[in-house]
Amino acid sequence: MQTIEEVNIRTVRQEDIERVSILEQASFNDPYPSYFLSELARDNPDTFLVLTLNNEIVAYGVVDHWEDHDHLISIAVRPDSRRKGLGEALLVELEKRLSKERALKLEVRQSNLAAIQLYSKRGFTKTGVAEGYYGDGEDAIIMEKRLVKEALLES
């Protein structure tokens, strides 16, 4: 018998931060502290999203609005839920919520080939390298995508 998994993407709630923080720690060598995740949630109520699978948070993504561009701070998918399209689903939903005609920028570990492949597939291009960006000295690939919203046809 096959189980139907219910996937839902919604905005983060303050009570989600502990689960998001655990997910962050499971996903990255240099995780963001929970107080920073809490600040991001407060400052970006429309672009801090969680993805739930059967009501359990298995992924999150957050875009912060900087003065001259939007910045993808993080996308994380729980290790046992990776390679199922969940990160891409989050990225697509985040893009829908962003302002038109603004660049969306990000940094990604040069060793994170799965993420680089996803970003390239979604239209991001490499614009540079930040040497020694991460705490362990690894370089970051800087990527950017210009978002263009479809104009609504007037009737």
Which residues are tagged catalytic?
A: 107, 119
Contact (CB, 8 A) for 89 and 75:
no
Contact (CB, 8 A) for 9 and 89:
yes
User: How far, in Å, CA of 33 to CA of 35, rounded?
Assistant: 6
